Amino acid sequence: MDVDVLFKIAGIGIVISILSKVLDEAGRKEQAQMTTLVGVVIVLMMVIQLISRLFDNVKSMFHLY
């Protein structure tokens, strides 16, 4: 597994949490919630791609079609 992916996920988490906190303190709670939701969706898409790659590797390793 690439360490770059972990750093990307951590970076996205840090940026989203800071942005959400700033928006929350500015009184824009709806935008803060949407920002958090978008961050979660982005990270979930990255994780889904990794899981798909894992299944492809397992399938090729055991010669499953």
Tens of pLDDT, residues 3-61: 899 999 999 999 999 999 999 999 999 999 999 999 999 999 999 999 999 999 999 98
pLDDT at 48: 96
Question: From the CB of residue 23, how many other CB atoms can be counted at a distance below 10 Å?
Answer: 18
Report the pLDDT value the prediction gives residue 64, as an integer from 0 to 100: 75
Amino acid identity of 56?
A: D
How is the chain split into domains, by residue range?
A: 3-61
Contacts by 39-44, CB closer than 8 A, 24 or more apart: 39/12, 39/13, 39/15, 42/12, 43/9, 43/12, 43/13
User: Whole-model pTM above 0.85?
Assistant: no
- The residue among 15, 58, 61, 57 whose CA lies nearest residue 38 is 15
The whole-angstrom separation of Cα 65 and Cα 13 is 37
